[in-house]
Amino acid sequence: MVSILVLHGPNLNLLGKREPGVYGSVTLEEINQSLYQEADSLGFALVASQSNHEGVLVDLIQDAMGKHSGILINPGAYTHTSVAIRDAIAGVNLPTVEVHLSNIHKREEFRHHSYIAPVAIGQICGFGADSYRLGLQALVHYLRQNM
Ligand code: CA2
Protein backbone atom coordinates (compact mmCIF):
# COMPACT_ATOMS: atom_id res chain seq x y z
CA MET A 1 0.00 0.00 0.00
CA VAL A 2 1.27 3.50 -0.82
CA SER A 3 2.43 5.20 2.36
CA ILE A 4 2.54 8.83 3.53
CA LEU A 5 4.79 10.19 6.28
CA VAL A 6 3.27 12.85 8.56
CA LEU A 7 5.74 14.97 10.54
CA HIS A 8 4.93 17.40 13.33
CA GLY A 9 7.63 19.81 14.48
CA PRO A 10 8.52 21.41 17.81
CA ASN A 11 5.94 22.06 20.53
CA LEU A 12 3.09 20.51 18.57
CA ASN A 13 3.03 17.75 21.23
CA LEU A 14 1.53 20.44 23.49
CA LEU A 15 -1.52 20.93 21.26
CA GLY A 16 -4.77 20.93 23.20
CA LYS A 17 -2.83 20.95 26.46
CA ARG A 18 -1.49 24.57 26.52
CA GLU A 19 -2.58 27.86 24.90
CA PRO A 20 -5.89 26.58 23.46
CA GLY A 21 -6.69 30.20 22.47
CA VAL A 22 -3.97 30.23 19.80
CA TYR A 23 -3.93 26.67 18.44
CA GLY A 24 -7.29 25.21 19.51
CA SER A 25 -8.26 22.45 21.91
CA VAL A 26 -7.67 19.45 19.64
CA THR A 27 -4.73 17.28 20.74
CA LEU A 28 -2.02 15.92 18.46
CA GLU A 29 -3.27 12.40 19.18
CA GLU A 30 -6.75 13.42 17.93
CA ILE A 31 -5.26 14.99 14.78
CA ASN A 32 -3.28 11.80 14.11
CA GLN A 33 -6.36 9.64 14.68
CA SER A 34 -8.36 11.59 12.12
CA LEU A 35 -5.43 11.42 9.65
CA TYR A 36 -5.20 7.62 10.07
CA GLN A 37 -8.94 7.35 9.39
CA GLU A 38 -8.81 9.68 6.39
CA ALA A 39 -5.78 7.86 4.91
CA ASP A 40 -7.50 4.52 5.44
CA SER A 41 -10.66 5.66 3.65
CA LEU A 42 -8.50 6.95 0.75
CA GLY A 43 -6.67 3.60 0.56
CA PHE A 44 -3.28 4.92 1.74
CA ALA A 45 -1.05 3.87 4.64
CA LEU A 46 0.13 6.61 7.01
CA VAL A 47 2.83 6.92 9.66
CA ALA A 48 2.92 9.96 11.98
CA SER A 49 5.82 11.26 14.12
CA GLN A 50 6.51 14.35 16.19
CA SER A 51 9.88 15.74 17.27
CA ASN A 52 11.13 18.85 19.02
CA HIS A 53 14.57 18.37 17.45
CA GLU A 54 15.64 19.66 14.06
CA GLY A 55 18.17 16.87 13.43
CA VAL A 56 15.63 14.17 14.31
CA LEU A 57 13.23 15.66 11.75
CA VAL A 58 16.06 15.67 9.16
CA ASP A 59 16.74 11.97 9.96
CA LEU A 60 13.04 11.10 9.63
CA ILE A 61 12.85 12.87 6.25
CA GLN A 62 15.96 11.03 5.00
CA ASP A 63 14.58 7.70 6.29
CA ALA A 64 11.38 8.26 4.30
CA MET A 65 13.25 7.45 1.08
CA GLY A 66 12.12 4.08 -0.21
CA LYS A 67 9.46 3.74 2.51
CA HIS A 68 7.02 6.57 1.83
CA SER A 69 5.73 8.19 -1.34
CA GLY A 70 5.00 11.64 0.10
CA ILE A 71 5.38 13.82 3.18
CA LEU A 72 2.83 15.96 5.02
CA ILE A 73 4.69 18.28 7.38
CA ASN A 74 3.95 20.96 9.92
CA PRO A 75 7.50 22.09 10.65
CA GLY A 76 6.31 24.39 13.47
CA ALA A 77 8.76 27.20 14.24
CA TYR A 78 11.43 25.48 12.09
CA THR A 79 9.36 26.64 9.11
CA HIS A 80 10.88 30.07 9.59
CA THR A 81 14.44 29.06 10.46
CA SER A 82 15.47 25.68 9.08
CA VAL A 83 17.61 25.45 5.97
CA ALA A 84 18.46 21.89 7.13
CA ILE A 85 14.83 20.69 6.92
CA ARG A 86 14.41 22.42 3.57
CA ASP A 87 17.58 20.75 2.23
CA ALA A 88 16.42 17.33 3.50
CA ILE A 89 13.07 17.69 1.70
CA ALA A 90 14.81 18.83 -1.48
CA GLY A 91 17.31 15.97 -1.09
CA VAL A 92 14.81 13.11 -0.82
CA ASN A 93 12.76 14.52 -3.67
CA LEU A 94 9.45 13.24 -2.23
CA PRO A 95 6.31 15.32 -2.89
CA THR A 96 5.75 17.34 0.28
CA VAL A 97 2.78 19.38 1.49
CA GLU A 98 3.41 22.03 4.18
CA VAL A 99 0.58 22.62 6.63
CA HIS A 100 -0.05 25.03 9.49
CA LEU A 101 -2.88 25.29 11.96
CA SER A 102 -2.76 29.09 11.95
CA ASN A 103 -2.64 31.47 8.99
CA ILE A 104 1.06 32.31 9.26
CA HIS A 105 0.61 35.16 6.75
CA LYS A 106 -1.66 37.15 9.02
CA ARG A 107 0.49 36.73 12.11
CA GLU A 108 3.82 38.34 13.11
CA GLU A 109 6.12 39.34 10.26
CA PHE A 110 8.72 36.69 11.23
CA ARG A 111 6.16 33.94 10.53
CA HIS A 112 5.45 35.14 6.99
CA HIS A 113 8.53 33.59 5.47
CA SER A 114 8.79 29.81 5.04
CA TYR A 115 12.04 28.09 4.14
CA ILE A 116 9.93 25.01 3.33
CA ALA A 117 7.41 26.49 0.86
CA PRO A 118 9.82 26.63 -2.13
CA VAL A 119 10.50 22.87 -1.88
CA ALA A 120 6.87 21.89 -1.16
CA ILE A 121 4.25 21.19 -3.82
CA GLY A 122 1.98 23.53 -1.83
CA GLN A 123 1.08 25.01 1.52
CA ILE A 124 -2.21 24.94 3.45
CA CYS A 125 -2.61 27.15 6.51
CA GLY A 126 -5.25 28.79 8.65
CA PHE A 127 -7.83 26.03 8.97
CA GLY A 128 -6.85 24.70 12.38
CA ALA A 129 -6.75 20.91 12.60
CA ASP A 130 -8.57 20.80 9.23
CA SER A 131 -5.36 22.08 7.56
CA TYR A 132 -3.90 18.60 8.07
CA ARG A 133 -6.90 16.79 6.57
CA LEU A 134 -6.99 19.18 3.60
CA GLY A 135 -3.23 18.78 3.19
CA LEU A 136 -3.54 14.99 3.20
CA GLN A 137 -6.30 15.13 0.58
CA ALA A 138 -4.17 17.44 -1.60
CA LEU A 139 -1.16 15.12 -1.30
CA VAL A 140 -3.22 12.02 -2.12
CA HIS A 141 -4.73 13.83 -5.12
CA TYR A 142 -1.22 14.77 -6.30
CA LEU A 143 0.13 11.23 -5.81
CA ARG A 144 -2.79 9.69 -7.72
CA GLN A 145 -2.05 11.98 -10.67
CA ASN A 146 1.72 11.66 -10.58
CA MET A 147 2.58 8.05 -9.68
O1 CA2 B 1 0.31 27.38 12.84
C2 CA2 B 1 1.11 26.44 12.90
O3 CA2 B 1 0.79 25.27 12.70
C4 CA2 B 1 2.58 26.72 13.30
O5 CA2 B 1 3.41 25.83 12.55
C6 CA2 B 1 2.67 26.46 14.77
C7 CA2 B 1 4.05 26.78 15.35
C8 CA2 B 1 4.47 28.20 14.96
O9 CA2 B 1 5.79 28.46 15.41
C10 CA2 B 1 4.39 28.44 13.46
O11 CA2 B 1 4.72 29.78 13.20
C12 CA2 B 1 2.99 28.15 12.94
C13 CA2 B 1 4.03 26.68 16.88
C14 CA2 B 1 3.51 25.40 17.41
C15 CA2 B 1 3.41 25.53 18.92
O16 CA2 B 1 2.33 24.77 19.36
C17 CA2 B 1 1.92 24.95 20.66
C18 CA2 B 1 0.77 24.30 21.04
C19 CA2 B 1 0.30 24.45 22.30
C20 CA2 B 1 0.98 25.24 23.21
C21 CA2 B 1 2.14 25.90 22.83
C22 CA2 B 1 2.61 25.74 21.54
Q: What is the 3-state secondary structure (H, E, C) of 30-64?
A: HHHHHHHHHHHHHCCEEEEEECCCHHHHHHHHHHC
- Rounded to the nearest integer, the mean pLDDT of the chain is 97
Beta bridge partners of 125: 100
Say whether 142 is catalytic: no
Residue 22 has pLDDT above 90, yes or no: no
Confidence of residue 20 (pLDDT cuts 50, 70, 90): confident
**Residue 37: which domain range?**
3-146
Q: Cβ neighbours of residue 100 under 8 Å, at least 6 residues apart?
A: 74, 79, 123, 124, 125, 126, 131
Residue 77 CA to ligand 1 center (angstroms) comes to 7
Q: What is the pLDDT of residue 128?
A: 96
- Give the separation between CA 107 and CA 112, rounded to whole angstroms: 7
Number of Cβ within 10 Å of residue 103's Cβ equals: 13
Say whether 23 is catalytic: yes
Quick: pLDDT tens for 136-146.
999 999 999 99
For residue 24, give the nearest of 100, 77, 79 by alpha carbon.
100
Q: How many domains does the chain have?
A: 1
Quick: pLDDT tens for 39-89.
999 999 999 999 999 999 999 999 999 999 999 999 999 999 999 999 999
Q: Which amino acid is at 26?
A: V
CATH number at residue 113: 3.40.50.9100
Q: Is the CB of 18 under 6 A from ligand 1?
A: yes
Residue 92 has pLDDT above 90, yes or no: yes
Q: Is the CB of 74 under 6 A from ligand 1?
A: yes
| DSSP structure class, residue 121 | S
pTM of the model: 0.98
